[in-house]
C-alpha cells in the first residue's frame, strides 16, 4: 500500500466511523454528560466488565457518591459494599485513593492535565486517555483490547498485542486517526465499533462502516486477528470452607470472618476457609475422604479460635482470579460450646484480670459481692495501650501475645466466669485470635501443626454472626455472596 493509499485508508476510517457513531451510538448513562468524574468512574468499572453489567452499578455508585469529595470521604467499607459484585476490588480501592488525591491536590476537580491524570492511583494509559479525550476533548489515544482488535484487523497488523511495543505502536496509530476537534466522539466510536461490530470471535463485517478498506477482511484473515500470546492459565487451588450455623442466641445466623487488611480481597468478608491438603495419590481435595476433610477443617477452625463441628458436605463453588482459581468445598458446621479457655481478646481480658485479682475475687465472694465482679471490672478496662511497655497492673487485661498456659491455670483456679459466658462474650464481640496449641484444654492434646504453618494472616481478623438482613452491612466477594444467599434461600424455603 502506497503512502497516499495509507492516508486515504486512514481518512476513510475516521470519517466513516464518526458518521456511523453519530447514528448508531448506544444511550449509556455516562454519555449523557461530560462530567470527568463520572466518565472516570465508568471507565474504571468497564475494565474487564461488560457494559450491561456496569450500568446499574454506575447509577447506584454516582447516586451514593455524587462528587469526588463524597467518594474521598466515605468509609472504605461503604465503597466496597457499593462495588460488591463487580469483582476486581482493587479497582474500587484505587479509585477511592485517587479521589483523595484529587480532593487534596486539585480541590476536588479532576485535572485537565496529562501528567496529573497519569499520576492518579489506578489510572493507566488507557484510562488516562479516555478521561482526557472524552471529558476534555483532548487528542489523546485510548487504546484497550477492543481498540487493538479493530486496528489489527483494519490495518492488518500481525504483531502480538500482548507485547508492550505493539501497544505503543497502536497508541501512535490511534492518535494519528483522531480528527481535529473530535477526540471525544472518535475514541468512543472506536470503542463502540469493537464492542458491537468488530467482536472477538465472530466479527459482523457486513454492517461494519469501514469494511470497504478493512485489510484483514480483504485478505480473508479477520477471524485470526489480532495475534495475542495466551496468558498463563490461573493456578487451581482446592479449599475447605465452613458454613457455621449458630445455636442458642446465634440461631438463624452464620459466622463470617474478615480478611486481612492487605493482600487478596483485603478487608472483605467471607466464610472461613483454608487450603485443603492433597488426597493420597495427588487427587484433588474434592476427592479427599469425607472424614479426613472434616477433621482437617475442624482443626483449622480450632487453630483460628472458632468452635464448630463439621456435619457434612453442603456444596462446591468456584471463584476465579486472574492468577488463581479457588474451588471451595463447603461444609455445614454447627457452633459448639467453647471450653473455659478464653480465645477472644475479651476472654483474655476477663481471665487475665481474674488471674491477677484472685484475692480480690475471694474478698468479693466473702463480702457477698456478685460472682465474677472483679473479672468483669478487669474486662471493662478495655485493651491495653498498644504503645505502652509497662506490665499490666491489677485489673488490666493481658495482651494476646502475653497470655500463657500459666495465666490460664491461674485464671481457672480463680474461677473466672463460666464456659457459656466466655463463649457468648467471644461471639458477641465478634473477635477471635489464633491460639497456641498448648493452650487447648479439652483433653485432646496439642492441635496438630500443618505443613504450611499456623497463625497466618488468613487466620486473623474479626468474625461476626449474621443473618440475611445483616449482609447489607458487609462487602463480600462474589462467591461468598452467592453462597450466603443460597443458604438463606434454602432456610427460608423450609429446607432442612
Could you list the active site residues? 43
For every residue of 352-414, which 3-state class applies, written as one string? HHHHHCHHHHHHHHHCCCCCCHHHHHHHCCCCCCCCCCCCCCCCCCCCHHHCCHHHHHHHHHH
Range 332-368 burial, b when 16+ CB lie within 10 A, else e: bbebbebbbbbbbbbbbbbbbbbbbbbebbeebeeee
Q: Running DSSP on this structure, what letter comes out for residue 92?
A: H
486 in helix, strand or coil? helix
Question: What is the length of the chain?
Answer: 496
Spatial separation of the C-alpha atoms in residues 464 and 256, rounded to whole Å: 5
Spatial separation of the C-alpha atoms in residues 238 and 341, rounded to whole Å: 32
Range 269-283 burial, b when 16+ CB lie within 10 A, else e: bbbbbbbbbebeeee
Which residue is associated with the grid cell 476457609?
A: 273
245 in helix, strand or coil? strand
Does the CA dihedral 466-447-420-372 come out positive or negative? negative
All three cell numbers of 330: 463447603
For residue 246, what are the β-bridge partners? 251
Closest CA to 444 of 290, 274, 299: 299
For residue 331, what are the β-bridge partners? 242, 313
Amino acid at each position: 500500500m502506497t503512502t497516499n493509499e495509507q492516508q486515504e485508508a486512514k481518512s476513510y476510517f475516521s470519517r466513516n466511523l464518526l458518521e456511523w457513531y453519530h447514528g448508531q451510538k448506544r444511550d449509556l448513562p455516562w454519555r449523557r454528560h461530560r462530567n470527568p468524574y463520572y466518565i472516570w468512574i465508568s471507565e474504571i468499572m468497564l475494565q474487564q466488565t461488560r457494559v450491561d453489567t456496569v450500568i446499574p452499578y454506575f447509577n447506584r455508585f454516582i447516586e451514593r457518591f455524587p462528587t469526588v469529595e463524597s467518594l474521598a470521604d466515605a468509609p472504605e467499607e461503604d465503597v466496597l459494599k457499593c462495588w460488591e459484585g463487580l469483582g476486581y476490588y482493587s479497582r474500587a480501592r484505587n479509585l477511592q485513593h485517587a479521589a483523595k488525591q484529587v480532593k487534596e491536590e486539585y480541590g476536588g476537580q479532576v485535572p485537565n492535565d496529562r501528567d496529573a491524570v497519569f499520576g492518579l492511583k489506578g489510572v493507566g494509559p488507557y484510562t488516562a486517555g479516555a478521561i482526557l479525550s472524552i471529558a476534555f476533548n483532548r487528542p489523546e489515544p485510548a487504546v484497550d483490547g477492543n481498540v487493538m482488535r479493530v486496528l489489527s484487523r483494519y490495518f492488518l497488523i500481525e504483531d502480538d498485542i500482548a507485547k508492550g511495543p505493539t501497544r505503543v505502536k497502536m497508541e501512535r496509530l490511534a492518535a494519528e486517526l483522531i480528527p481535529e476537534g473530535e477526540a471525544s466522539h472518535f475514541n468512543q466510536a472506536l470503542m463502540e465499533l469493537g464492542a458491537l461490530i468488530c467482536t472477538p470471535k465472530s466479527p459482523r463485517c457486513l454492517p461494519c462502516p469501514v469494511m470497504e478498506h478493512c485489510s484483514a477482511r480483504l485478505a480473508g484473515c479477520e477471524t485470526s486477528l489480532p495475534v495475542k500470546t495466551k496468558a498463563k492459565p490461573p493456578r487451581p487451588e482446592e479449599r475447605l470452607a465452613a458454613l457455621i450455623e449458630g445455636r442458642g442466641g446465634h440461631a438463624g445466623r452464620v459466622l463470617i470472618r474478615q480478611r486481612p487488611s492487605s493482600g487478596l480481597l483485603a478487608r472483605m468478608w467471607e466464610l472461613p476457609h483454608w487450603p485443603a491438603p492433597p488426597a493420597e495419590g495427588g487427587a484433588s481435595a474434592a476427592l479427599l475422604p469425607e472424614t479426613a476433610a472434616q477433621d482437617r477443617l475442624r482443626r483449622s477452625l480450632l487453630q483460628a479460635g472458632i468452635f464448630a463441628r463439621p456435619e457434612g458436605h453442603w456444596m462446591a463453588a468456584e471463584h476465579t482470579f486472574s492468577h488463581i482459581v479457588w474451588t471451595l468445598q463447603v461444609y455445614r458446621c454447627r457452633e459448639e460450646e467453647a471450653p473455659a479457655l478464653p480465645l477472644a481478646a475479651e476472654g483474655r481480658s476477663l481471665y487475665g484480670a481474674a488471674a491477677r485479682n484472685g484475692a480480690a475475687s475471694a474478698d468479693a465472694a466473702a463480702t457477698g459481692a456478685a460472682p465474677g465482679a472483679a473479672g468483669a471490672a478487669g474486662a471493662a478496662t478495655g485493651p491495653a495501650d498498644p504503645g505502652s511497655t509497662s506490665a499490666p497492673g491489677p485489673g488490666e487485661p493481658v495482651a494476646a501475645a502475653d497470655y500463657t498456659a500459666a495465666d490460664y491455670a491461674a485464671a481457672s483456679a480463680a474461677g473466672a466466669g463460666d464456659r457459656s459466658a466466655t463463649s457468648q462474650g467471644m461471639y458477641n464481640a465478634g473477635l477471635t485470635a489464633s491460639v497456641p496449641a498448648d493452650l487447648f484444654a479439652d483433653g485432646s492434646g496439642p492441635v496438630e501443626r500443618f505443613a504450611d504453618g499456623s497463625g497466618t494472616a488468613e487466620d486473623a481478623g474479626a468474625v461476626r454472626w449474621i443473618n440475611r438482613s445483616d449482609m447489607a452491612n458487609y462487602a463480600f466477594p462474589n462467591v461468598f455472596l452467592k453462597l450466603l444467599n443460597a443458604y438463606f434461600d434454602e432456610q427460608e424455603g423450609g429446607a432442612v
